Amino acid sequence: MPGPVTWLVCVILLVAESVLLSAFGVESFGLQSGVGVTIYLGLRREFVTGALTLAALLPVVEWLVSGPMGFYSLGLVVVFFVLRALRGNIQKRWGFAQMILAALMAFLHAGVMVIALLLANANSAIMHSVLWNVWMACVLVGLTFVPLARFLERGDRMLNPRSGRTVLEVS
């Protein structure tokens, strides 16, 4: 998918998550699709497209998270750069290994948030909340990441059937 289309799809996913959480009234079950989308961009996009798409997504993510601005985004940016550095060592198929990876990235994201909050805006109640909820967040991101990634990859294939394929076409 081109960058703007990816951005639009991600915004729709984030809004849908917000609406569904509202319909079911469960906030600690936030699926954090922002983290999932960042992992997908980090693994499946060329650096410039991924970085610009994520940069355009950050304000929307912040509005929908409604936390102290900037801290959630900072976590996502760190996750993106870490995945860029590691992507050569990560297998391509979406499976159990990717679930574990997503859970670890959710943990890293929360860790970066806590450190940034500690340095810039120490508020023990917020840090307490992040640390309390991080375990559930890791599990939920791990469980929901693979379907989310497969959905986004299906979107990629719809618009560009050869995307992600490395086998040369028979001429």
Q: For binding to other proteins (CB under 8 A), which residues are involved?
A: 11-12, 14-23, 25-34, 47-48, 51-52, 54-55, 58-74, 77, 80, 110, 113, 117, 120-121, 123, 125-126, 128-130, 132-133, 136-137, 140
Closest CA to 78 of 106, 44, 120: 106
Question: Cβ of residue 57: shortest distance to other proteins, in angstroms?
Answer: 10
Nearer to other proteins, 18 or 157 (CB): 18
Burial class (CB in 10 A: 0-12, 13-18, 19+), 6: buried
8 A C-beta contact, residue 51 and residue 80:
yes
8 A C-beta contact, residue 139 and residue 19:
no
Nearer to other proteins, 62 or 156 (CB): 62
Closest CA to 114 of 100, 105, 124, 104: 124
Question: Cβ of residue 83: shortest distance to other proteins, in angstroms?
Answer: 13
Question: Cβ of residue 119: shortest distance to other proteins, in angstroms?
Answer: 11
Nearer to other proteins, 26 or 97 (CB): 26
Question: Cβ of residue 139: shortest distance to other proteins, in angstroms?
Answer: 11
Alpha-carbon gap, residue 104 to 163, rounded angstroms: 27
Q: Per the structure block, which two tokens stand in for 3?
A: 């960058």
